[in-house]
């Protein structure tokens, strides 16, 4: 079973962040922020972060252009302007990004996807990327890194069902999707970047 991790840099001191990566044997960070810069934590700006990681023998790869959550193309949006994760997952560039991740895992790299949100549940690394990996790369185990724990994709999916249980059509009378699929869509709509208002998905 292959493994892939995710982590949010939040506003951690860079030394604490590096320590967190080393604690989990991460040797490759894949930056999935559409815009790899931070207003509140400049130590995570692309160039600075690259240098910090290099000094600690951790590889930095930017893939926000392939796996990022901010899109302006109308064909990838819900009617209200929010990004539709399912539409994004169907694009060639996204699928090429996933294939690149898989190739890295096969080669033995210990990869963690990185975005800015501390909580994976609030981030596209869970609802967009990890959801696709879980569905399509069944030999990959997904683990979400926190300072004091590791949560599995299943842990977050249980949280997902619990949050939206009152809105889910369990009997399938009005939906052809499973309860979990419905919950993912509801989460998508709650956290997605909106191309009209320019809000959401705080990368």
pTM (predicted TM-score):
0.95
| CA 184 and chain centroid, separation | 13
Domains of the chain by residue range: 2-191
Which residue, among 132, 119, 94, has the nearest Cα to 190 in the 3D structure?
A: 119
Q: Are 83 and 195 in contact (CB under 8 A)?
A: yes
Q: Are 179 and 172 in contact (CB under 8 A)?
A: no
Whole-angstrom distance, CA of residue 8 vs CA of residue 156: 15
Count of Cβ atoms closer than 10 Å to residue 147 Cβ:
13
Predicted confidence at residue 203, as pLDDT, reads 55
Which residue, among 3, 4, 6, has the nearest Cα to 123 in the 3D structure?
A: 6
**Could you give the residue ranges of the DSSP H alpha helices within the chain?**
14-23, 46-55, 64-67, 85-89, 92-106, 124, 131-136, 153-164, 179-191
Whole-angstrom distance, CA of residue 55 vs CA of residue 141: 28
Whole-angstrom distance, CA of residue 85 vs CA of residue 191: 11
Count of Cβ atoms closer than 10 Å to residue 170 Cβ:
10
Predicted confidence at residue 62, as pLDDT, reads 98
Q: What is the CATH number of domain 2-191?
A: 3.90.190
- β-partners of residue 194 are 82
- Average pLDDT, consecutive stretches of 10 residues, N- to C-terminus, the chain (203 residues): 96 96 98 94 96 97 97 96 98 98 97 97 97 96 97 98 95 87 97 92 63
Q: How does DSSP assign 26-52, residue by residue?
A: --EEEE--SS---SS-GGGSHHHHHHH
Predicted confidence at residue 202, as pLDDT, reads 62
Predicted confidence at residue 173, as pLDDT, reads 77
Q: What angle do CA 119, 122, 123 make, to 5 degrees?
A: 90
DSSP 6: E
């Amino acid at each position: 079973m292959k493994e892939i991790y995710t982590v949010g840099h939040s506003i951690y001191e860079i030394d604490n962040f590096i320590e967190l990566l080393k604690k989990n044997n991460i040797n490759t960070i894949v930056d999935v922020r559409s815009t790899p810069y931070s207003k509140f934590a400049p130590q995570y700006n692309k160039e600075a972060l690259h240098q910090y990681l290099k000094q600690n023998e951790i590889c930095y790869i930017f893939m926000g252009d392939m796996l990022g959550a901010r899109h302006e193309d109308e064909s990838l949006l819900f009617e209200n302007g929010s990004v539709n994760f399912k539409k994004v997952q169907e694009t060639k560039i996204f699928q090429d990004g996933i294939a690149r991740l898989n190739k890295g895992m096969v080669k033995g790299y210990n990869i963690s996807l990185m975005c800015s949100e501390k909580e994976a549940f609030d981030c596209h690394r869970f609802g967009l990327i990890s959801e696709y990996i879980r569905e399509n790369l069944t030999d990959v185990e997904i683990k979400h890194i926190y300072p004091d724990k590791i949560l599995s994709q299943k842990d977050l999916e249980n949280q997902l069902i619990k949050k939206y249980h009152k809105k889910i059509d369990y009997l399938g009378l009005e939906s052809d999707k499973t309860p979990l699929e419905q919950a993912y869509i509801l989460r998508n709509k709650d956290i997605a970047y909106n191309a009209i208002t320019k809000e959401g998905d705080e990368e």
